[in-house]
Amino acid sequence: MMRISADTIRTVFGIIGNGTALVLFFSPVPTFRRIWKSGSVEQFHATPYLATLLNCMFWILYGLPMRLRVLLVLVIEILFVGAVAAIVLTIVHGYMRRSLIVGVLCVIFGTLMYASPLSVMKQVIQSKSVEFMPLFLSLASFFNGICWTIYALIRFDLFITIPNGLGVAFAVAQLILYMMYRGSTARQMKERKQKMEMGLVNTNGSLKDDLENGTKIGN
């Protein structure tokens, strides 16, 4: 009977994880198209995208080869991450200590990336609408987090386990909210469309505008 090594399994999940990561990073494309067409960011939050940018930049630094020189690091990284790379590689001596410092930063920004939708989740609960919390992004975060958590647990890497484990939890919370409020979202969007046809809401009206207008009309 053929025996599959832990390294082989880890490699497989690493490959799958790269695939899910690509899906995760491309998942905001429909949102960007909507913003481009409407000419308005409406109620979408910029926080998840800024957190994702910082997270990716620090993971690039974490995954760089041991002997990469400071100059190359500065070329790859920009602004804040470039400064951190220069400090770590010139002041902190020893590969293990450098990995510890950069790994901690990766945990922080990885957690921020996955936790950034919390502000959106608050809006979902208040408005009872998931219109501005894209389902595709939540699903991509869920599967990406699972793949990288499994990858990290096979040959334990705390720095990869923590942010991705938390990412799974946050994604599950988003999916639960989506299941809870998808019905009310459809109703609100239908009502807004009817109001737009009646001229009660402008064509760029957002959910927030819709709710405010609804309150005024009700009064």
18: number of CA atoms within 13 Å, CB side? 5
Q: Which two tokens stand for residue 193?
A: 């469309």
In a domain, 50, yes or no: yes
In a domain, 130, yes or no: yes
In a domain, 187, yes or no: no
Residue 126: φ, ψ to 5°:
-70, -40
In terms of Cβ atoms closer than 10 Å to its own Cβ (0-12, 13-18, 19+), residue 96 is exposed
| Among 9-23, 78-92, 109-123, 126-140, the range of highest mean pLDDT | 126-140
21: number of CA atoms within 13 Å, CB side? 18
Give the pLDDT mean for 127-146.
Answer: 82
The helix/strand/coil state of 4 is coil
In a domain, 142, yes or no: yes
Residue 25: is its pLDDT beyond 80? Answer: no
pTM (2 decimals)? 0.52
When divided into structural domains, the chain yields a total of: 1
Q: Which domain holds residue 143?
A: 6-182
In a domain, 199, yes or no: no
Q: DSSP label at 16?
A: H
Q: Which two tokens stand for residue 8?
A: 């082989």
Which residues 6+ apart lie within 8 Å of 30 measured at CB?
134, 136
Q: What is the pLDDT of residues 80-112, one digit of tens each?
A: 666 666 666 666 666 677 677 767 777 777 777
Q: Please give the Cα distance from 95 to 63 (Å, whole number).
A: 12
In a domain, 211, yes or no: no
Residue 216: pLDDT band (50, 70, 90) is very low
Q: What is the pLDDT of residues 29-71, one digit of tens each?
A: 887 888 888 887 777 777 777 777 777 777 776 666 555 555 4
Distance of CA 45 to the CA centre of its chain: 12
Please report, for residues 9, 21, 68, 138, 153, the alpha-carbon distance to residue 13 in angstroms, rounded to integers and kept in the order given.
6, 12, 26, 20, 11
In a domain, 55, yes or no: yes
In a domain, 97, yes or no: yes
Q: What is the pLDDT of residues 171-195, one digit of tens each?
A: 899 899 888 888 887 787 777 777 7
In the chain, the N- to C-terminal Cα span, in Å, equals 75
